[in-house]
């Protein structure tokens, strides 16, 4: 496959086509990236909503077990004083399990909160990138328009007019003969 040559025989033409490329590529790249950011943003917001629900359910479970655990902790302390010869009593194991479950749920709440914070930071980072790309896209479009205009102007006024005159002169000379 042969790649076409760029118009590098003329600097002004090259500047003109570079500007035209920037004019075309800047908005297209912005649209593609915007689409990707919006999809990722929706996924992250969904994940944040699910995480918030998990945290809410875990907090309800903690509140529900909280009163039982307080009672279980008091019973454990009382039982420690009363029963020293039978450390593995059935009530003690049940109460101990309640305390351990509550601690596990409290850890789960903390882990889910950390996940939610990370997701929020990722959404913030993506939005920052999106805003930065929007600025770069606008700058690319403006610079591309400027390069296109300047390149086209100089190409036409400094080169193309004279080439057209030469071609016209050759055509007139050829017609005379």
- Assigned domain for 108 exists: yes
pLDDT given at position 73 = 62
pLDDT given at position 121 = 87
- Assigned domain for 41 exists: yes
- Assigned domain for 95 exists: yes
Q: Return the ∠ at Cα 144 (arms to 143 and 149), rounded to 5°.
A: 100
pLDDT given at position 24 = 92
- Per the structure, the complete domain to which residue 124 belongs is given by 11-172
Query: 17-59 pLDDT, tens per residue?
Result: 899 999 999 989 888 888 888 888 888 888 878 877 877 777 7
- Assigned domain for 168 exists: yes
- Whether 141 shows a pLDDT value over 90: the answer reads yes
Indicate the number of domains in the chain: 1
- Assigned domain for 3 exists: no
Cα(149)–Cα(94) distance, integer angstroms: 82
- The pTM of this model reads 0.58
- Assigned domain for 4 exists: no
Residues 6 or more apart in contact with residue 115 via CB below 8 angstroms:
51
- Assigned domain for 99 exists: yes
- Assigned domain for 5 exists: no
């Amino acid at each position: 496959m042969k790649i076409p040559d760029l118009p590098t025989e003329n600097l002004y033409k090259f500047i003109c086509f570079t500007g035209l490329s920037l004019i075309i590529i800047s908005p297209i790249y912005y649209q593609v990236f915007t689409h990707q950011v919006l999809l990722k943003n929706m996924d992250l917001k969904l994940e944040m909503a699910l995480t918030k629900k998990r945290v809410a359910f875990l907090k309800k479970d903690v509140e529900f077990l909280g009163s039982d655990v307080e009672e279980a902790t008091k019973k454990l302390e009382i039982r420690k004083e009363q029963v020293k010869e039978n450390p593995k009593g059935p009530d003690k194991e049940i109460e101990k399990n309640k305390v351990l479950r509550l601690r596990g749920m409290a850890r789960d709440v903390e882990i889910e909160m950390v996940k939610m914070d990370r997701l929020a930071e990722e959404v913030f980072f993506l939005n920052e990138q999106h805003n930065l790309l929007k600025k770069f896209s606008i700058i690319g479009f403006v610079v591309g328009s400027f390069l296109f205009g300047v390149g086209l102007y100089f190409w036409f006024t400094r080169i193309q007019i004279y080439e057209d005159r030469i071609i016209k002169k050759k055509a007139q000379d050829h017609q005379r003969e």
